[in-house]
A and B are shown apart, each in its own frame.
Chain A
Amino acid sequence: MSRDPFENLRAANPLPEDTPVHPPMNTADRIAGVLPRRTWPTWALAGGLALVVLLGGGAWLLWAGGGTQDVVATSTAPPTTSSPATTIVPAFPENDAVIYFFVEDDGTQVVPGPYLIPVARPYAVLSHFVEDPVYETLQFLLASVYPGEAEADPALLSQIPEGSQLLGVRVADGIADVDLSVGFYAGGDGPDLRRRLAQVVLTLTRFPEITAVQFWRGGQIVGFDETVGVSYPTVADDFADFLPPIMIESPVYWASGGENPLVVTGTADVFEGTVSLELLAEDGAILWEGFTTATCGTGCRGDFSVETPYEVPEAQLGTLIAWETSMEDGSRLYQREHPVWLNATPGTTTTTAADPVAALLSERYDLDKALDAALEELAQIDAQLAGLPLDQGTELRTRAAEVDQYIGELREGLGRVYDELVALGAEFPIPCSAEVLGSEPESQPDLPQAVTDLRHEVYEAARACDWEALPGLLDAGTFSYSFGEDGDPVGSWQRLEFLHYEPMLYIAGMLIRPFGLLPDAEQPIFAWPSAHAYGSWEAVPQAHKEALRPLYGDLDFGFFEEFGGYLGYRVGITLDGDRARWIYAITGD
């Protein structure tokens, strides 16, 4: 080694200062102009995550260029996804992408399907900018339904074969040339293929600049025989039979626009063109109800549009319902239900932000910072108080009590934030206090082999905050994790980590300290730290007390002395024959 290790470290800088870094175009605008103001409901975040997982290994992420709506089509060349011929500023479009899936029936089993319905996909879930909304929208369509949508009622279905790939798309003179892989066209009979085409054509003709679609297969123009029953090039009207009697075109299924009043548009073929609607809040309360009349009815399809103003105190997922009222008995026919995102109405609330998850995460950030600072201050005060007789340091002790109370309040706030995030089903990071520990606990040769093995496994899982592994290690039937509590120890530890109580640091930290054998137990119980196995604090050897540092300090030792025994964190493993069982990790007292 020729140099100071620190100099070697400098030289090993993976990205030296002179490494060129080019900020991605418009990232600042996207952050400042769009993302914080978007009102993504939790399903959108979850859906986005699911999409990333779904497509993580997909070839489409390899896409580098993207087509363009401005490229002029040539007569013979297939559409291409090579670099755009015109300059397009990449950005995230304000509106969601809209794609068309099928539902099996009208939700009331009265009218057999399948029917097409428009479904929203937020562009913001993408990890790259959107150069070409047409291209990205088709990719959303080929990615099929999200997990959960196929199980919803009514279930969303895609007829497009899995693995179908978009080879190219371009738009010119109102016609979209779409080149799809052979897999898109393979298998199925005429009606099957027709449904696939319907999804693509309805999706694309929603773009105002597209009126018809020309299909290509691997670079060759595709013509369809009579069994498919579509025109050339293919237009939306070819699939009129896939439209439900009441078709809500906007807001689309899962829409995240949150406009107020909500403008509901669509088409209907119902008696006298009369469409009844209601808008429900998340709790089912009716926010708006009324009816509108389509431009045509009773045997022809007409357009309708109606504004539905609403007031809600906080952002939430509501439901838009449209139906035809039966002239015979007043029952609801052809009912359609769409989940829609409703924004908080200004004036009805003073504190709730439009995006509850973002607001909670922002609050968490503030509380985290304040708690870190308060804990640091308390640690400094404790260090100053260490060794001082009780009749000295009154001011410091008063300050410590104040800070301690403040810490309690901050944790209370964090607990509320945690509970609300969990209730919203949000994805959020949980800190891992034990990651500062080393990867291997020192061996404790006096332990039986089975106990040694389990100790190592628990240590590693706790050190890494491996929330998936921990449940499998504890003895579910008898495990105790806090006085008087039962239920989900791992969930409890996650919450405690979130509140900076650092349970994983303590659990792993105990296991690297001396152990003791609990007296008077029916089966041997190996306890960490050893102090827990002694009848009194006084009986704990000084070396074993010192081993508790730095997790516990002089003040804690004073409490243990006053109490008469160790009452801190402890971990226990019992030996049942040849089998070791992890039976407790008390962290709550």
Chain B
Amino acid sequence: MTDIRRQAAEPTPEERFRSLFARHYPAVFRYAGRRLGREEAADAAAEAFTVAWRKLSHVPVEPETLPWLYGVARRVVANAERGRRRRERLAARAGRTATETSADPDRAGVLEALAGLSAADREILRLAAWEGLDPRGMGLVLGCSPNAAAIRLHRARRRLEEAMNDPEGQP
């Protein structure tokens, strides 16, 4: 006879993982989609959760679970972006250029300014603006203290503002 209460009290690794997946898949998908586009987001999210399954014993308890998953997804996204840059370089060599336009000038301007910042600045700005993380969460993702994350964000915001005010960047 199945002891349901016992099962509930002691979830198997598979049950833990399914629960983790159900709770956080949408957030991890969005994280990847914001950086790679929807088309590549599913693959990146699946890869991040594959790492989570393999490292299940390392996954921290809530509320640190999602920042930890973001940290994993960050590596996955970085690898995917690297591959994409190579493809874009090939396309550029072949005489093709990728252009992205936006009807909203504010949106276009800020995304252009964001693209001109360093990878570290871009990531901390996105974590704050898009994932809505506080310094503690950002620190968990980036592997630094909340203080360091707050300082990094402050500097990145300043650089974003400078980039926006750069006459070169003005439409």
Taking Cβ atoms with an 8 Å cutoff, the residues of A that contact B are 1-6, 8-15, 17, 19, 21, 23-24, 27-29, 31-33, 35-36, 127, 358, 362, 365, 369, 372-373, 376, 429, 431-432, 435-438, 464-466, 468
Contact = CB atoms under 8 A, between A and B. Distances in A.
Interface in B29-61: 29-30, 33-34, 37-38, 41-43, 46, 49-51, 53-55
B85 interface: yes
B120 A17 contact: no
Per CB-CB distance, the 7 closest pairs between chain A and chain B, nearest first, are: A21-B26, A28-B21, A8-B110, A429-B79, A12-B107, A23-B25, A9-B129
Given A9-B125, A362-B54, A21 B25 contact: yes
Max count, chain A CB within 10 A of own CB: residue among B22, B106, B120, B160 = B106
Interface in B1-43: 13-14, 17-18, 21-22, 25-26, 29-30, 33-34, 37-38, 41-43
Contacts of B14: 32-33
A384 to B, nearest CB: 14
Interface string B75-94: 00011001001100100000
A21 B30 contact: yes
A376 B144 contact: yes
Given A36-B54, A365-B51, A465-B82, A436 B34 contact: no
Interface of B: 13-14, 17-18, 21-22, 25-26, 29-30, 33-34, 37-38, 41-43, 46, 49-51, 53-55, 78-79, 82, 85-86, 89, 104, 106-107, 109-111, 113-114, 118-120, 125-126, 128-130, 132, 143-144, 157, 160-161, 164
B51 A5 contact: no
20 contacts: A5-B160, A6-B128, A6-B129, A9-B114, A9-B126, A9-B160, A10-B130, A11-B107, A12-B104, A12-B107, A12-B111, A14-B33, A23-B22, A28-B17, A31-B49, A127-B43, A365-B51, A429-B82, A436-B119, A437-B118
B46 to A, nearest CB: 6
B42 A24 contact: yes
Max count, chain B CB within 10 A of own CB: residue among A13, A362, A376, A438 = A13
Nearest to A24: B42
B16 to A, nearest CB: 9
Nearest to B33: A15
Contacts of B51: 365
A435 B129 contact: no
A36 B43 contact: no
A67 B26 CA distance: 29
Nearest to B18: A28
Contacts of A28: 17-18, 21-22, 25, 49
Contacts of A13: 34, 129-130
Given A36-B53, A435-B119, A15 B18 contact: no
Contact of A15 (B34, B53, B104): B34
Nearest to B162: A5
A432 B118 CA distance: 13
B122 to A, nearest CB: 10
A31 B17 contact: yes
B131 to A, nearest CB: 9
A127 B44 CA distance: 11
Contact of A436 (B13, B25, B120, B143): B120
A15 B129 CA distance: 12
A15 B38 contact: yes
B85 A464 contact: yes
Contacts of A464: 85-86, 89
Contact of A1 (B21, B25, B46, B164): B164
A17 B30 contact: yes
Nearest to B52: A31
B50 A6 contact: no
A376 B143 contact: yes
Contact of B26 (A5, A23, A365, A468): A23
A181 B29 CA distance: 38
Nearest to A12: B107
Nearest to B164: A5
B143 to A, nearest CB: 6
A373 B21 CA distance: 27
A12 B161 CA distance: 15
Max count, chain B CB within 10 A of own CB: residue among A1, A21, A436, A438 = A21
A226 to B, nearest CB: 50
B55 A31 contact: no
A12 B111 CA distance: 7
B115 to A, nearest CB: 10
A2 B106 contact: yes
Nearest to B35: A14
A4 B129 CA distance: 12
B118 to A, nearest CB: 5
A19 B30 contact: yes
